[in-house]
Amino acid sequence: MHVSQPSITARIQRLEDRLGISLLVRSTRRMEPTKDGLRLYEQSQVALVGLKEIVKEFDTRTNRGSHRIVIAATPMIAAIALPSILNGYQKLYTDVHIRLLDLQYPEVIDKVQSGEADLAVIAFDGDSNKLRFQTLADEELLLVVPRGHPLAKFKEVVLEKVLKYPLLILDRYTTLIRMIAEEGKKRNLPIQSLREASQLNTLLGMLDAGNGITFLPKSMAQANAKHKRPTLRVTDVALARRYGVVVRKKNEVSSAAQSFIDYIHKEYARTLGKN
């Protein structure tokens, strides 16, 4: 046992004190267990067998979990970018079970930080020091206007024309808001009005009602063009959203999650190009 005899004696005495019983009968010639000592020994053996069984069960579950991935993503990424990527990945890795969580941005961050999701695919605003971001692609932002808007007849515009109208922005696009404000300041062009929304559907509803114009990533803007919302490029300023994979900093991902990360790094930019 690699433990000295005095140390064992002291431990047994502490155990006897804790239980309030004698475990061993000691004499100058020999030492043997009492009836209570024998009973404790027998029950301990049963407990150890049960402990080994539950550890074995956990090990089995962990091995099974290595073939399961939980991915969190914001709604438009989950609906537009990920379906074809997941389809291609599952054809290569048929034994991996994937669960896709379609959540709003703050919930996506919470799921990864808590470990409920193995990874997230998002446009990350860098608002957590617990997470690590791996860039997948930069996507151009297009201006989206409602039908009948004065800018709808153009294919391209400059920022000066854009800032003549109220802007609608998703509230999580903090980097975009800052970029537009800085570019406007350089040109002495103040933002006339800035209205924020938390949900994309709310933003588009406000746009359709004539409350303003907005910027959306190209794939997202084109996906919503089926509602005949005109899209335009802004030619004199580079506006983009950076998409990537987010994982926890201090935790190693499973082999299955890593294989998906490797796959999406190869496929994400190509998928955006198709949309």
Across 207-211, average pLDDT: 93
pLDDT tens-place string over residues 10-55: 888 899 899 999 999 887 778 889 999 999 999 998 888 888 778 7
Contact 218, 139 (CB under 8 A): yes
pLDDT tens-place string over residues 45-96: 888 888 877 876 675 555 555 588 999 999 888 988 899 999 999 999 998 9
CA dihedral for 156, 161, 164, 169, sign (positive or negative): positive
Class of the domain covering 65-135+243-274: alpha beta
Q: How confident is the model at residue 207 (pLDDT cuts 50, 70, 90)?
A: very high
Quote the pLDDT of residue 53: 77
Q: Taking all residues of the chain, what is their mean pLDDT, rounded to a whole number?
A: 87
Q: How confident is the model at residue 259 (pLDDT cuts 50, 70, 90)?
A: very high
Q: Can you tell me which residue has the tokens 């709310």?
A: 202
Q: How confident is the model at residue 105 (pLDDT cuts 50, 70, 90)?
A: confident
Please determine, looking at this structure, whether the domain spanning 5-63 carries the CATH number 1.10.4080.10.
no
Domain(s) of CATH 1.10.10.10: residues in the chain: 5-63
Domain(s) of CATH 3.40.190.10: residues in the chain: 65-135+243-274, 139-241
Across 190-196, average pLDDT: 87
Q: Is the pLDDT of residue 258 over 80?
A: yes
Percent of the chain having pLDDT more than 70? 91
Q: Is the pLDDT of residue 102 over 80?
A: yes
* 64 or 151, which is more confident: 151
Quote the pLDDT of residue 68: 87
Q: Is the pLDDT of residue 7 over 80?
A: yes
- Residues near 91 by beta carbon (within 8 Å), at least 6 away in sequence: none
Quote the pLDDT of residue 97: 92
Quote the pLDDT of residue 56: 65
Give the C-alpha separation, 151 to 42, whole Å: 85
Across 189-216, average pLDDT: 90
Quote the pLDDT of residue 245: 95
Residue 139 β-bridge partners: 241
Q: Can you tell me which residue has the tokens 């695919």?
A: 121
* 58 or 258, which is more confident: 258
Q: Taking Cα atoms as reference points, which of 196, 204, 197 lies closest to residue 225?
A: 204
Q: Following DSSP, what letter does each residue of 89-128 receive, concatenated?
A: HHHH-TT-EEEEEE--HHHHHHHHHHTSSSEEEEE-----
b/e map of 143-166 (b: 16 or more CB within 10 Å)?
A: bbbbeebebeeeeebebebbbebb
Class of the domain covering 139-241: alpha beta
Q: pTM here?
A: 0.66
